[in-house]
C-alpha cells in the first residue's frame, strides 16, 4: 500500500512541470494573438482615418461644385436676359442710324441750298449756243462800216450733238442692254452738260446700269452721289428704293431696312414708297420667323 502511494506521488510530481509548461505556452499563444489583433486594429483605425479624410475632402469638393453650379446658373440666367435684350438694343441702334441718315440728308440739302448761284449773264454765256439748221454756223450781224469777223474753225474734239441727243442715245443703249456703253455715254453727258436738268437722271441711270450688271457696290456709290448732289431731284425716291434693293442683294438687311424707312418717312406719297413698305414687311417677317424657336 505504501508502495502504491509512493508511485502516485512520483507520477504527480512528474506530471506537474509538464502541465505548467503547457499552460505557459497557451498563455504565450494567446498573448501573441492579442498583440496581432491589436496591430490589425491599429491598421484598421489608420485606414478608417484615411477614409474619413478622403470623405471630408470629397465633401468639400462637392460643396465647391455646388457653388460653381449656382454661379453657372446665375450666369446662364444673366446671359439669357442679355440675349433677350439684344433685339431691343438692335432696334435702338437702327433708330439712331436712321436719325443720323436724316440729319445727313438735311445737311446735304442745306449745303446745296447755300451754294452760290452764278449770275444770269454768266449762266447765259456758259450755255452752249444752239446749232443752226443743217450744221451751218449761226451768222452774227455786223454793224455797217465794219468788216465781218473771221470765221471760227470748230474744234474737232468738241461734240456737235445736242444734249438731248446724247442723253437719248445713252438711254437707248440702256434699254438694249448695252450697259457698259450706256454708262460711258451717260458719263460723257454729265461731263459736257453738268448743269443740265437731266444730269441727275443720267447719274441715276448709271446706277441702274450697275444694278443690272449686279455690281451692287458700284450702284450704291452712284445712288449716293445722286442723293448728295441732287437732293431735290425727281429721281431721289427711286434712288433710295434702288439703294435699299442693292443692300438686300448684298445680304445687308439692316442697312436696307434703314434706307426703306428713310424713304417712307421723307416721301410718303411716292410710288416707290409703296414698294419700300412691302419690303419692310417682308424683312420684319423674316426677322420674326428666325426669332421663333
* Cβ proximity of 182 and 209 under 8 Å: yes
Does one domain contain both 55 and 186? no
Give the tens place of pLDDT for each residue, 43-96.
Answer: 888 888 788 888 887 877 877 777 777 777 777 766 766 556 566 666 666 666
Question: Averaged over 96-100, what is the pLDDT?
Answer: 66
Q: Which of 228, 229, 178, 165 is nearest to 199 (CA)?
A: 229
Distance CA 115, CA 17 (A): 142
126, pLDDT greater than 70: no
Nearest to 227 by CA among 68, 120, 105: 105
pLDDT of residue 80: 67
- 132 domain residue, yes or no: no
Whether 258 shows a pLDDT value over 90: the answer reads yes
Q: How confident is the prediction for the chain on average, in pLDDT?
A: 75
Q: Which of 44-53, 100-109, 275-284 has the highest mean pLDDT?
A: 275-284
> Is the same domain home to 234 and 266?
yes
Same structural domain, 270 and 175: yes
The contacts of residue 154 (CB under 8 Å, 6+ apart) are 137, 160
CATH code for the domain of 190? 1.25.40.10
My answer on whether 206 and 64 are in the same domain is no
Same domain, 73 and 101: no
Find the domain containing 50 and state its range.
22-78
Residue 238 lies in a domain: yes
Give residue for cell 446662364: 76
**Residue 275 falls inside a structural domain:** yes
Question: Could you tell me if residue 247 is inside a domain?
Answer: yes
Residue range 215-237: mean pLDDT, rounded: 94
Is the domain of 221 the same as that of 282? yes
**What does each C-alpha distance from 78 to 24, 65, 93, 152, 197 come to in angstroms?**
81, 20, 22, 83, 59
pLDDT of amino acid 188: 93
Domain membership of residue 17 (yes or no) is no
Same domain, 71 and 100: no
In tens, the pLDDT along 167-197 reads 999 999 999 999 999 999 999 999 999 989 9
In 133-286, the DSSP E strands lie at: none
Residue 131: CB atoms within 10 Å: 13
| Domain shared by 74 and 217, yes or no | no
Residues 6+ apart with CB under 8 A from 256: 244, 245, 247, 248, 279, 283
Is 284 part of a structural domain of the chain?
yes
Instruction: Check whether residue 26 and residue 107 sit in a common domain.
Output: no
Quick check: 258 and 252 in contact, CB under 8 A? Answer: no
- The pLDDT value recorded for residue 48 is 84
The residue count of the chain comes to 293
Task: Write down the pTM of the prediction.
Answer: 0.46
pLDDT confidence of 99, banded at 50, 70, 90?
Answer: low
Output the pLDDT for position 11: 55
* DSSP classification of residue 206: H
Residue 129 falls inside a structural domain: no
Same domain, 105 and 216: yes
Classify residue 27: in a domain, yes or no.
yes
Domain count, the chain: 2
Whether residue 27 is found in the same domain as residue 108: no
Tell me: do 50 and 187 sit in the same domain: no
Amino acid at each position: 500500500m505504501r508502495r502504491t502511494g509512493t508511485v502516485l506521488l512520483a507520477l504527480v510530481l512528474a506530471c506537474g512541470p509538464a502541465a505548467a509548461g503547457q499552460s505557459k505556452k497557451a498563455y504565450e499563444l494567446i498573448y501573441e494573438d492579442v498583440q496581432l489583433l491589436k496591430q490589425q486594429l491599429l491598421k484598421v483605425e489608420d485606414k478608417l482615418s484615411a477614409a474619413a479624410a478622403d470623405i471630408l475632402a470629397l465633401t468639400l469638393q462637392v460643396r465647391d461644385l455646388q457653388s460653381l453650379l449656382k454661379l453657372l446658373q446665375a450666369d446662364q440666367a444673366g446671359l439669357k436676359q442679355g440675349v433677350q435684350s439684344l433685339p431691343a438694343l438692335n432696334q435702338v441702334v437702327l433708330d439712331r442710324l436712321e436719325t443720323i441718315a436724316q440729319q445727313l440728308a438735311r445737311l446735304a440739302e442745306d449745303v446745296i441750298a447755300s451754294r452760290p448761284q452764278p449770275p444770269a449773264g454768266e449762266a447765259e454765256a456758259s450755255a452752249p449756243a444752239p446749232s443752226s439748221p443743217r450744221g451751218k454756223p449761226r451768222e452774227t450781224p455786223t454793224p455797217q462800216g465794219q468788216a465781218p469777223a473771221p470765221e471760227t474753225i470748230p474744234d474737232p474734239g468738241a461734240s456737235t450733238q445736242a444734249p438731248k441727243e446724247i442723253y437719248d442715245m445713252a438711254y437707248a443703249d440702256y434699254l438694249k442692254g448695252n450697259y457698259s456703253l450706256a454708262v460711258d455715254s451717260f458719263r460723257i453727258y454729265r461731263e459736257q452738260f453738268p448743269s443740265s436738268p437731266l444730269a441727275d437722271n443720267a447719274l441715276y441711270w448709271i446706277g441702274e446700269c450697275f444694278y443690272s450688271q449686279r455690281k451692287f457696290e458700284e450702284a450704291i456709290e452712284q445712288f449716293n452721289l445722286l442723293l448728295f448732289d441732287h437732293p431735290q431731284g425727281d429721281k431721289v425716291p427711286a434712288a433710295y428704293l434702288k439703294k435699299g434693293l442693292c443692300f438686300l442683294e448684298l445680304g445687308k438687311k439692316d442697312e436696307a431696312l434703314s434706307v426703306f424707312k428713310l424713304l417712307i418717312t421723307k416721301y410718303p406719297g411716292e410710288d416707290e414708297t409703296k414698294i419700300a413698305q412691302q419690303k419692310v414687311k417682308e424683312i420684319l417677317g423674316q426677322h420674326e420667323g428666325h426669332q421663333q424657336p
